[in-house]
Amino acid sequence: MAFVTRQFIRSLSSSAALHAAIKHVTIIGGGLMGAGIAQVAASTGHSVVLVDTSEDILKKSAKGIESSLKRVAKKKFAEKPEDGEAFIQKVLKNISTSTDAASVVQGTDLVVDAIVENLKVKQDLFGALDKAAPEHTIFASNTSSLSIADIASSTARLDRFGGLHFFNPVPMMKLVEVIKAPGTSQQTFDALLEFSKALGKHPVSCKDTPGFIVNRLLVPYMLEAVRLHERGHGSKEDIDVAMKLGAGYPMGPFELLDYVGLDTSKFIIDGWHEKDPDNPLFAPSPLLNKLVAEGKLGKKTGEGFYKHK
């Protein structure tokens, strides 16, 4: 009876904690996405710890955040630069850095990973943090293509695990896909929705399906453009122009592939194809595979479908 009572009290305590607003956020990964999430969270009054494996990476992240904030302040406080400087300092005070994730998560409400798109790496990360984080702490992944349920399977908090997919550049893009996996509790899902709104974002509800909403539509669209070109039914230049002038898209599919990174798009489509090999929308592209094998990954390498200066 005493055991049942203790379990009931723990359940009530966890439930009450989940209803409380998320105030302290730990971001794992100091790259563009992680730094962007940290900036937005700190700008909206959250206490943020940005975690990565080395101090050098974190110094670069901090410098990037400060530069981004200066651009925001210059636009927002054009007539009062002193207010802009005060804004920058206020936000920066909300951000600290660490290389010790296990220590940091002991006092956090939410952990968001923005690390490499590798299932095992994410599972290992959350499996380790699950042992260190308090019972009320919510885990979320910023994955753009992996299954939330698969990532969460390495933890004992399936009910407190969801997805928060931000878009790059995070300070500018308003959308956040909030993903509810089969094990995600309604309380956790609601908390993630409210957190997204607190960041000034527009959340949309997603199921834990390949690519969620945006990438599930976007990646097959880009790959179908490549297949159209492979069949000789249109040049990449004409396809890009057609989609910009005919569909009103700001970028054509080949321009977008170069911007996103050909290796990133290949990684996503290969993962989906492995899970659902009979789906023609997930079929690999020989041309895309060839360019990636040649190291032509898009803007980041100077050449992809197009050459970039």
pLDDT per residue as tens digits for the range 240-253: 999 999 999 999 99
On the question of pLDDT at 275 being above 80, the answer is: yes
Residue 165 annotated as catalytic: yes
Q: Is the pLDDT of residue 36 over 70?
A: yes
Q: How far is CA 1 from the centre of its chain?
A: 44
Catalytic residue among 94, 142, 215, 265: 215
More confident residue, 152 or 6: 152
Helices (H), the chain: 2-19, 32-43, 55-76, 81-93, 101-104, 119-132, 148-152, 186-198, 214-230, 236-247, 253-260, 262-275, 286-293
pLDDT confidence of residue 5? 46
The rounded percent of the chain whose pLDDT value lies above 90 is 90
Q: What is the pLDDT of residue 20?
A: 67
Owner of token pair 């349920």: 149
Element (H, E) at 51: strand 47-51
> Which of 61, 144, 154, 196 is flagged as catalytic?
144
The annotated binding site for CoA is made up of 68, 75, 144
Question: How many Å apart are CA 97 and CA 24, to the nearest integer?
Answer: 13
Which residues are annotated as part of the binding site?
29-34, 52, 68, 75, 117, 122, 144, 168, 300
Average pLDDT over every residue of 20-31: 94
Longest dimension (CA), the chain: 73
Structure tokens at 227: 């297949």
- Annotated binding-site ranges for NAD(+): 29-34, 52, 117, 122, 144, 168, 300
pTM here?
Answer: 0.89
Beta bridge partners of 202: 175
Domain with CATH 3.40.50.720 in the chain: 24-207
What does the mean pLDDT of the chain come to? 93
Annotated catalytic residue: which of 142, 165, 196, 229? 165
Does the annotation mark 177 as catalytic? yes
261-278 as b/e, with b when 16 or more CB fall inside 10 Å?
Answer: bbbbbbbbbebbeeeeee
At residue 48, what are phi and psi to the nearest 5 degrees? -125, 135
- Average pLDDT estimate for 13-18: 48
Given the residues 94, 142, 145, 177, the one annotated as active site: 177
Residues of the chain with CATH 1.10.1040.10: 215-301
pLDDT digits (tens, 9 = 90+) for 39-98: 999 999 999 999 999 999 999 999 999 999 999 999 989 889 899 999 999 999 999 999
SS3 49: strand
Give the model confidence (pLDDT) of 215-236 as tens digits.
999 999 999 999 999 999 999 9
Q: pLDDT confidence of 19, banded at 50, 70, 90?
A: low
Domain formed by 24-207, architecture: 3-Layer(aba) Sandwich (3.40)
> What is the signed CA dihedral for 196, 159, 28, 44, rounded to 10 degrees?
20
Does the pLDDT value for residue 18 go beyond 80?
no
Instruction: Give mean pLDDT, residues 287-300.
Output: 97
Using 50, 70 and 90 to split pLDDT, how confident is the model at 309? confident
Q: Which CATH superfamily is domain 215-301 in?
A: N-(1-d-carboxylethyl)-l-norvaline Dehydrogenase; domain 2 (1.10.1040.10)
Annotated catalytic, 215? yes
CB neighbourhood size of 157 (10 A): 20
